Amino acid sequence: MNVNPREGSLAAGASSTTMLRRSNARLILDAIRRAPSGNTVTANELIGATSLTRATVLGVCDDLLRDGWIREQPALAATGKGRPARHFALDDNAGYVLGIDAGYSHIRSVVANLRGEVVGRGGAAFTADIDNADPAPRTAALKLAIDSALDDGGIAPSRVLTVCFGIPAPVSRHGTIPTGNPFWERMAVDQEAVLAGRPQCTSFIENDANLAALAERYNGTVDPDGSFLVLLAGERFGAGVIEDGHLLHGSLGGGGEMHYLDLVEGVGSPAAIAPLARAWAAEALAAGRATTLSKGRSKKNGPSAEAVFAAAEAGDAVANEIVDRLAERLSRVISTLASLLNPETVVIGGAVAPSIARLAEQIEAKVATTSHFPPRVVASSLAGDIVLTGAVNAALARVSRDALDIELRRT
């Protein structure tokens, strides 16, 4: 095939210019979004934050003003020679994003404004049937979760710019799920069916543990530019890995997958804190052991993990044995991760996180005796919102990246 060098150069130049313009818009929009709500940012401050030239900053700001992403405050009187500084602020409610925690045994949802402030919450009762390949029940539950969050926030569907679905399955950089694993396939989201009829609404999927790691980056527990991992330890183990500030996906999205635990002596499966605590408590009760865990238990499910931790704090001997067993198991899991990845910190996240401060201390002490590179081990303060928080952050990053291509709707 013959290619005209001049035509090729023009095409490459146009493409490069467009990419540069979008990149500059993302940098500036992110810098303005980081300013506290109600505060303005001057052009000089944006220059310092982005290292862009004044002409570029003002040109991009004019684009963002025209498109409705930011507002310009009235000019203040100049304190010296020259024109008064221009002051810009994010229009927090120019659009909204949806974050969905689409787990195996739950679906939770939030709608947030452009500053990441949650304005509505929703969800749907749902537990996946691994033996049923029909996606319709999961699709219906996801629709309900979205509608309930929008209704709670009083947000019209047309105001939503993008939706991020967090799922307990590997997701590649291209948004694909590896085939061959029935569990992963059941966790997929039929995005087109879920969002059918919603105008101008884009979406993407991401692994839930990766989203948890993104959430923890700016939660104040870790160095956002350092190396750490977040271990989701509710129903099944999953890890989100940050290396020098960058999320580790792996070639097919398998970075942080925990099926290797099938081969680890003393662990044996990816089952995490909640099912193990329930199972071991049920075993103790079935054996007739004296324990306060017999009080208020559900005949169907038995004591919850939270009940086990509460009983342990109150001095129940059986509950303390269960916590010790959990500490031993998690210390083996974290020791293997520490040996492979050498993180500075391991953050244990998920709905059980508020209950496991003492467990985290026990794990850290055990890991210190088994690992050449023992990390700090802490419980996340984000609790059950950790995946939702990461989904909102990922959705906002996607909006910033594509801002110049998005048409905002005000009605």
Q: Delimit the domains of the chain by residue range.
A: 5-90, 96-213+387-405, 224-381
Q: What pLDDT, on a 0 to 100 scale, did the predictor assign at position 105?
A: 84
Mean pLDDT of 381-404: 94
- pLDDT for the residue numbered 127: 85
Q: How confident is the model at residue 76 (pLDDT cuts 50, 70, 90)?
A: low
Q: Kindly write down the DSSP assignment for every residue of 361-399, as one continuous string.
A: HHHHHHHHHH-SSPPEEEE-SSGGGHHHHHHHHHHHHHH
Domain 5-90 has CATH 1.10.10.10: yes
pLDDT at site 329: 95
Class of domain 224-381: alpha beta
| Structural contact between residues 216 and 210, judged by C-beta atoms closer than 8 angstroms | no
- At 410, the pLDDT band (50, 70, 90 cuts) reads low
> Do residues 129 and 120 touch, judged by C-beta distance below 8 A?
no
**Euclidean distance between CA atoms 186 and 193, whole angstroms:** 15
Question: According to CATH, what is the number of the domain 96-213+387-405?
Answer: 3.30.420.40
Q: How far is CA 79 from CA 46, 82, 88, in A?
A: 19, 9, 18
Q: Looking at the predicted structure, is the pLDDT value of residue 153 above 70?
A: yes
Q: Which of 119, 130, 166 lies closest to 349, judged by CA?
A: 166
- pTM of the entire predicted model: 0.89
Q: Per residue in 109-147, pLDDT tens? A: 999 999 999 999 999 998 888 888 889 999 999 999 999
Is the pLDDT at 12 greater than 70? The verdict is: no
- pLDDT at site 16: 75
pLDDT at 21: 85
- pLDDT of 9 above 50: no
Position 14 scores a pLDDT of 47
pLDDT at site 320: 95
Which residues 6+ apart lie within 8 Å of 74 measured at CB? none
Q: What is the pLDDT of residue 411?
A: 58
Q: What integer is the mean pLDDT of 178-195?
A: 91
Q: Using the predicted structure, report yes or no on whether residue 15 has a pLDDT greater than 80.
A: no
**pLDDT at position 8 over 70:** no
The per-residue pLDDT of the chain, averaged, comes to 89
3-state secondary structure of 137: helix
In residues, how long is the chain?
Answer: 411
Domains 96-213+387-405 and 224-381 share a fold: yes
pLDDT at 10 over 50: no
pLDDT bin (cut points 50, 70, 90) of residue 3 is very low
Model confidence over 38-71: pLDDT tens digits?
Answer: 889 999 999 999 999 999 999 999 999 999 999 9
281-335 pLDDT, tens digit per residue, is 999 999 999 999 988 565 566 799 999 999 999 999 999 999 999 999 999 999 9
Concatenate the DSSP letters of all residues of 246-294 into one string.
EE---TTS-TT--GGGGGSTTT-SSB-HHHHHHHHHHHHHHTT---GGG
- Average pLDDT of 347-367? 93
Alpha-carbon dihedral sign for residues 147, 212, 392, 399: negative
Nearest to 377 by CA among 394, 389, 359: 359
SS3 of residue 74 by DSSP: coil
236-267, pLDDT tens digit by residue? 999 999 999 999 999 999 999 999 999 999 99
